[in-house]
Amino acid sequence: MGEGVPNEPQPEPASDEAAGQKVPDRKPAGMTWGSFVEARIREAQDGGAFENLPGFGKPIPGLTGTDDESWWLKEKARRENINLLPPALEIRLDVQRTLQRIDTLAYEADVRRTLEALNKRIVQAQRAAVWGPPCDTQTLDIEATVARWQAKRGG
């Protein structure tokens, strides 16, 4: 009988381990790997090592069922908050988020500062020689945007 051969009967664990004694940390010479691993798992189960584990009964995060070779890269980018968009698309997303954010601002001066900073970022994106599609996002008309902000606020 060869060690580790599938579908081959494995010898029973040694009698001292079957009697409830602790399984050694290292595999004894006369024991197969399969028997050793099973004995260690049984010992851990008997000691309650697998009870009340976090995430028990829940799906494993990140397993979508697809064989995506770059899953680790996407997960790292999400975890590290790394933006993988081309700069032209990133600035469009920045404009959307900034316009949503100014609706929550209370003072006109804050709205103007936020819009001026956004316009600077747009100009930077337009001038930068970068990868991806060209940046065709135009700077915002601050006065018109402030007027819309005031109208939404009712004054």
* Closest among 62, 58, 89, 88 to 74, alpha carbons compared: 62
Mean pLDDT computed over 88-107: 93
CB 84 within 8 A of CB 90: no
Q: Tens digit of pLDDT for each residue in 6-26? A: 554 454 444 444 445 788 888
Dist CA 107 CA 154 (whole Å): 13
Q: Contact, 130 vs 90, CB < 8 A?
A: no
Average pLDDT, the chain: 82
The pLDDT of 60-64, averaged and rounded, is 68
Asked if residue 145 has pLDDT above 80, the reply is yes
Could you tell me if residue 112 is inside a domain? yes
* Domain containing residue 25: 15-46
pLDDT of res. 2: 46
* 119 three-state secondary structure: helix
Q: Please, which pLDDT band fits residue 98 given cuts at 50, 70 and 90?
A: very high
Torsion angle defined by CA atoms of residues 147, 149, 150 and 152, in that order, rounded to the nearest 10 degrees: 120
92/148 same-domain check:
yes
Task: Kindly state whether residues 40 and 91 are assigned to the same domain.
Answer: no
In a domain, 138, yes or no: yes
Residue 63 lies in a domain: no
Q: Which pLDDT does position 64 carry in this prediction?
A: 65
How far apart, in whole angstroms, are the C-alpha atoms of residue 121 and residue 96?
A: 13
Taking a C-beta distance cutoff of 8 angstroms, is the pair 97, 85 a contact?
Answer: no
State whether 91 and 149 are in the same domain.
Answer: yes
pLDDT recorded at residue 134? 85
pLDDT the model gives residue 57? 83
**Spatial separation of the C-alpha atoms in residues 145 and 31, rounded to whole Å:** 77
Better-scored residue on pLDDT, 56 or 147 = 147
Our count of domains for the chain comes to: 2
Q: Is residue 144 part of a domain?
A: yes
Please give the average per-residue pLDDT across 82-101, as a whole number: 89
> What mean pLDDT is predicted for residues 75-80?
86
Instruction: Tell me the C-alpha distance between 138 and 127, whole Å.
Output: 12
pLDDT at residue 65, rounded to an integer = 64
| pLDDT: which is higher, 111 or 78 | 111
Distance CA 68, CA 63 (A): 10
